[in-house]
């Protein structure tokens, strides 16, 4: 049996998970939360991760009932993500790898989401909609690569939601997107917003600029409520994503769609705990890579903030 520990910390969540042949043994996590109206800065996020990462590591081992000697491989998020948090986690993973005398593996964050989704749902060959605070892509597997069929040409859908939450001072606890979703359930009036699909790609900066400029005017004049704006923004953004996902499914002849990433926790998707950034997803991708013979040498164990999904050779799939 192969046991892999995975370190994830590409954004405001720090997680460490342990996988043994498809079984999640532990998956503790901490989230860095800022006051309403504020985002999270890389330096502050990294400071948070440094403060708690050893505690989370201890929890992961204790919950799994394992010792360092039981671990076969140490996987960490190589990218994409925020530089300072990525470096913090990579340094700890490299140190652990050397202290424990275990092989090291740098994992693509997106592929971690995909492989965890495939494990949990048992989907065979799905078209993947990857939606998070930093990424928006429509992906399908072909010939040893996860091919990107469409993506955002500016900001990610989660970033659009987060920045709107700051405009109307929605709480970041537990996350801006979750709180937007709860408010959207109470919205009754649809406010027309820009809808920008360009072939297989989407653009969210225009809709964000529009709603940032119009929100306070509409709210102060009584044209609509904050709940109406949350409802309207969600409906418009998700309609754009559904359009390009359906188009990719038609092109691939696919009967399955897998939604991964933090925005996938919305009620419109399969809302399970593995959508949110977590260590187990990095462990699962690392497990697949390790079993197919991949290892990252110490001198190659850097981080890459812009690490494309389609850069990775998928050696573990036919």
Reported as a single tens digit per residue, the pLDDT across 2-56 is: 999 999 999 999 999 999 999 999 999 999 999 999 999 999 999 999 999 999 9
Tens of pLDDT, residue by residue over 194-232, are 999 999 999 999 999 999 999 999 999 999 999 999 999
213 annotated ligand-binding residue: no
Q: How does DSSP assign the chain, residue by residue?
A: --EEEEEE-SSSEEEEEEEETTEEEE--EEE----TT----HHHHHHHHHHHHHHHHHHHHHHHT--GGG--EEEEEEESS-HHHHHHHHHHHHHHHHHHT--EEEEEHHHHHHHHHHHHH--SS-EEEEE-SS-EEEEEEETTEEEEEEEBSSS-HHHHHHHHHHHTT---SS-HHHHHHHHHTT---PPP----EETTEE--HHHHHHHHHHHHHHHHHTSS-HHHHHHHHHHHHHHHHHHHHHHHHHHHT-S-EEEESGGGGSTTS---TTSS--HHHHHHHHHHHHHTT----GGG----SS--GGGS--TT--
Predicted confidence band of residue 307 (pLDDT cuts 50, 70, 90) = very high
What local confidence, expressed as pLDDT, does residue 273 receive? 78
Give the domain ranges of the chain: 3-119+273-300, 127-255
Q: The whole model's pTM is what?
A: 0.95
Intrachain domains 3-119+273-300 and 127-255 with the same fold: yes
Q: Is the pLDDT of residue 185 over 90?
A: yes
Closest CA to 137 of 38, 11, 314, 258: 258
216 annotated ligand-binding residue: no
266 annotated ligand-binding residue: yes
What local confidence, expressed as pLDDT, does residue 149 receive? 97
Tens of pLDDT, residue by residue over 100-149, are 999 999 999 999 999 999 999 999 999 999 999 999 999 999 999 999 99
159 annotated ligand-binding residue: no
Q: What is the mean pLDDT of residues 149-156?
A: 98
**Is 158 in contact with 133 (CB distance < 8 Å)?**
yes
What local confidence, expressed as pLDDT, does residue 162 receive? 96
132 annotated ligand-binding residue: yes
Tens of pLDDT, residue by residue over 280-291, are 999 999 999 999
130 annotated ligand-binding residue: yes
What local confidence, expressed as pLDDT, does residue 272 receive? 63
278 annotated ligand-binding residue: no
10 annotated ligand-binding residue: no
What local confidence, expressed as pLDDT, does residue 269 receive? 56
49 annotated ligand-binding residue: no
199 annotated ligand-binding residue: no
286 annotated ligand-binding residue: no
CATH says 127-255 is which class? Answer: alpha beta
- As a whole number of angstroms, the distance between CA 68 and CA 226 comes to 50
Q: Which fold has domain 3-119+273-300?
A: Nucleotidyltransferase; domain 5 (3.30.420)
79 annotated ligand-binding residue: no
């Amino acid at each position: 049996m192969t046991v892999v520990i995975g370190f994830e910390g590409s954004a405001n969540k720090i997680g460490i998970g342990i996988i043994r042949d498809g079984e999640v043994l532990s998956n503790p996590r901490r989230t860095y939360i800022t006051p309403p109206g504020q985002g999270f800065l890389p330096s502050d996020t990294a400071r948070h991760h440094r403060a708690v990462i050893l505690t989370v590591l201890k929890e992961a081992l204790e919950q799994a009932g394992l010792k360092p000697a039981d671990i076969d491989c140490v996987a960490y998020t190589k990218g994409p993500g925020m530089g300072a948090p990525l470096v913090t986690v990579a340094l700890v993973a490299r140190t652990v790898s050397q202290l424990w005398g275990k092989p090291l593996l740098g994992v693509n964050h997106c592929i971690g989401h995909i492989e965890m989704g495939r494990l949990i749902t048992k989907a065979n060959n799905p078209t993947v909609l990857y939606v998070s605070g930093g990424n928006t892509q429509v992906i399908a597997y072909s010939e040893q690569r996860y091919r990107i069929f469409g993506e955002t040409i500016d900001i990610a859908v989660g970033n659009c939601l987060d920045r709107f939450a700051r405009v109307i001072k929605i709480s970041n606890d537990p996350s801006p997107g979750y709180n937007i979703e709860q408010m959207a359930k109470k919205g009754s009036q649809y406010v027309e917003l820009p809808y920008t699909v360009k072939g297989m790609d989407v653009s969210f900066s225009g809709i964000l600029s529009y709603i940032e400029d119009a929100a306070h005017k509409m709210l102060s004049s009584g044209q609509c409520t904050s709940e109406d704006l949350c409802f309207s923004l969600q409906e418009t953004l998700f309609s754009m994503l559904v359009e390009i996902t359906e188009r990719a499914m038609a092109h691939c002849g696919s009967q399955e769609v897998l939604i991964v990433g933090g925005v996938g926790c919305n009620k419109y998707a399969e809302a399970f705990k593995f959508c949110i950034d977590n260590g187990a997803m990095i462990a699962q991708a690392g497990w697949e890579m390790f079993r197919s013979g991949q290892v990252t040498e110490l001198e190659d164990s850097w981080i890459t903030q812009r690490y494309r999904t389609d850069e990775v050779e998928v050696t573990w799939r036919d």
